[in-house]
Structure formats: structure tokens, C-alpha cells
Amino acid sequence: MGVTGPPGLVAGGAAAGIKADGVPDMALVATDDGRPVPAAAVFTTNRATAAPVVVSRAHLADTGGRAAAVLVTSGNANASTGPAGRQAAITLCELVGSGLTASAAHVLVCQTGLIGIPFPLPVAAAAVPGLVRGLAGGPDAGQAAATAMMTTDTFAKQVLVAGPGFSVGGMAKGAAMLAPRMATMLAVLTTDADADPATLAQVLTAGVGPSFNSLTVDGATSTNDTVILLASGRAGPVDREALARAVADACTGLATMMAEDAEGASKVVHLEVAGARTDAEAHQAARRVAESQLVKCSFNGEDPYWGRLVSELGSAGVAYDNELVSVAYGGVTVCAGGVAVEHDRAAVAAHMAGRHLHVRCHLGLGTGSGVVLTTDLGYGYIDENRTTS
């Protein structure tokens, strides 16, 4: 159970016809009484910002951080579609608001799919009333919503985290164009904790940092990235730190599923850089290694070619001394002091053959550390992305 896990939230999914194959492509998450509740969001940093991001950002600003619903459409990103695209996003919010007897400003919208193609508003608009009428609680409704937001995903991504006296639920989509700030993705999180918009914004930003912002598959940042958090308040006030941990755990769980479902990937790689001068330099170095096509090919070939990692670390733009660096695969050190060392080759080979790889690079310069979640580069990624997708 995902977004419908916390009391006070309902959801649903439908086939609106945005996608030509007739599969579910429109999801809705809303409060069960249609009333606006505290909300917060984190959006893409891409300046080629899609219409739904522009509209949702404006709605949160206009309402002081309150929302009654989040509409998600899949199959068309409604990005680079000009004034008509923005009006389409606004109209969808108006239709959802009308069905819930809520203001259009209290409706947020997320959209995903192909860029630069006019959004089929008449088709989508016709499906909204039925979607609103079909809203329900329970796991089936949550599954329907999570399925309807998928694009090239192979499974619906849901999470439910239990906190002391409250819970955080979530759903997400994302399988490609995954890169820091943010991963190319949409996510809707819900909680029954009672928290004001400012608190939600703080805990959401903190949770996104080590999860979605630390995930990279191909180094591409989307035009539509959005993570939204709604709080029904049904559980009453909760411990702020406990809420922050639960939101972070939910974000991490969803980000991990996205890495596991990345297009063409056969490896999920937990890449750590330690011993940097600062945490910021460690993250910078880790991202450089994680986004190297040569390194990613090595992961796919199960080849512990540490020389490629060292080369990327040295060109990452951070403090570096080749005589201090070390590299380990699965806890087995293969390089120390910048040179190869004797090690258990069978243990390394067994680790590289697994689904989850743990790679640790130590720069030997300080206490800074950072972790990036990434994947290998597989044949399936090229097959999926060699044409418009």
C-alpha cells in the first residue's frame, strides 16, 4: 500500500487515452473530503521547465502551501508546448477542482512522457470526471494510481513507512533520464501527520537530498521532475525528527526501486567516496565516477577495472592526491596508495556478479563523504533510447 496507506487520502487510476495503447495513463491522489491540507513540493532545476511544474509551483505559492489533490498524467510531458500547454495544465486543475468542489489553485498537476508534442487536452479532460468519481481508499486504489503514472517503468513503485503514531506513503515513476537535481521522476508522498507547510517543505527537501538527488543513471535531468508531499493531519502532531526520518526513508525506498528498474540496467551500484576534504567534494567526485560511461560499462561487464574510477576521481575537480587514493569492491581493497594491491580475486568476482554492487573510493584527504546510487550501462538502455521515447 502506498499513497492510500495514511488515513485521509484516496486515489485512483484510469485509461484516459493519452497513450495510444489504451493502458492506464491518468492518476489522482486527493484528500478524502476534498479539503485542502498542508503540502510541499520540490521541483526540477532544469530551466526548460514544463507546464505542469510552472502551474503547480504557482498554485503552491498562491495558496501558501495547501492542496487538495495531485493529478498525474502519463504519455505526454506537456513540455515545450507554449501557452497552450500551460492552459491545458490549468484546465486539468480546474476540472479536478470542480469534481472535488475545491479551488483549482488547490490542485497540483504532474505530467510525464514525450517532450514537444501538443498535449491532447480534449481526451484527457473527458476522463477527469470519472477519475474523480472513482476515488477510493485501500491498496487497490493506491496500486491503480501508481500503475497509471508509469512510462517505461516495468513495475509500479510504492512504499509505506510506519512512524511512531503516523505513516508516510508514496508512489513514484522513473526508469531513465535519472540524474541528480533531481532524478527524472515524479513522486507523490502522503502522510497523516499534522504538520504545517513550512515543516513539510523542510523535511521533504532534506529527504530528497540523499535519495532522489543522489540517484543518477544517465546524467540527464528532466523538464518535469516533481516530488509532492500532502499531509492529511489525521494522526495529529508528531515528532518532527521522526517525520523527517520517515519521509527520508520513503524517498530512499522509491529511489532505490527506480535504480533497480532503470532502462537496460543489470546492476544497482552504491558508490561511496570517502576521505574527501568536504562532503560537497565527496558528492562531486562520486557523481563524476557514477556518470562515467566507461565506468558504467565496466559494471555491466562485471570487470573491477579500478583504473577507470581513479581516472574519474582525478578529473572530478576536487582535491586529489593519487598516492593516497584507495578503491574497494564489496569491501575488498584492490587499489591502495594509487597502485594495485594483492587481494581475493574470487571474492571480488563473486561480488561483481551480484545484482547490487558496493564500491568505495577513499581519497585520504579528510572526513568528507558522499554516496551516489547509480547503475551500469546495458544494451537495453540503447535499445530503448535510440529513437524517440
**Domain locations in the chain?**
9-260, 268-385
Per-residue pLDDT at 284 exceeds 80: yes
Q: What's the DSSP call for residue 106? A: G
Rounded Cα gap, residues 143 and 302, in angstroms: 35
Distance CA 365, CA 386 (A): 41
Query: How crowded is the C-beta side of 34, counted as CA atoms within 13 Å?
Result: 12
Q: Phi, psi at residue 280, to the nearest 5°?
A: -60, -40
Instruction: Give the model's pLDDT for residue 153.
Output: 85
Task: Please give the Cα distance from 93 to 86 (Å, whole number).
Answer: 11
- At 106-157, the pLDDT tens digits run 999 999 988 899 999 999 999 999 999 999 999 999 999 999 999 878 889 9
Contact 19, 150 (CB under 8 A): no
* Residue closest to 175 by CA, chosen among 289, 290, 264, 301: 264
Query: Which residue, chain included where needed, has cell 491545458?
Result: 88
d(CA 248, CA 62) in angstroms, rounded, equals 27
No. of helices (H) and no. of strands (E), the chain: 11, 16
Cα atoms found within 13 Å of the Cα of residue 268, Cβ hemisphere only: 13
Which CATH class, in words, describes the domain spanning 9-260? Answer: alpha beta
Q: What is the mean pLDDT of residues 229-258?
A: 95
Cis peptide before 258 (omega within 30 of 0): no
Q: How far is CA 235 from the centre of its chain?
A: 26
Q: What average pLDDT does this structure show over 243-269?
A: 87
Q: Which of 114, 117, 119, 110 is nearest to 43 (CA)?
A: 110
Average pLDDT of the residues of the chain? 91
184 in active site: yes
CB 86 within 8 A of CB 56: no
Residue 48: pLDDT above 90? no
Residue-level length of the chain:
389
Residues 351 and 349: their CA atoms lie apart, in Å, by 5
Catalytic residue among 151, 184, 191, 252: 184
User: pLDDT tens digits, residue range 304-336?
Assistant: 999 999 999 999 999 999 999 999 999 999 999
Range 268-385 has CATH code 3.10.20.340: yes
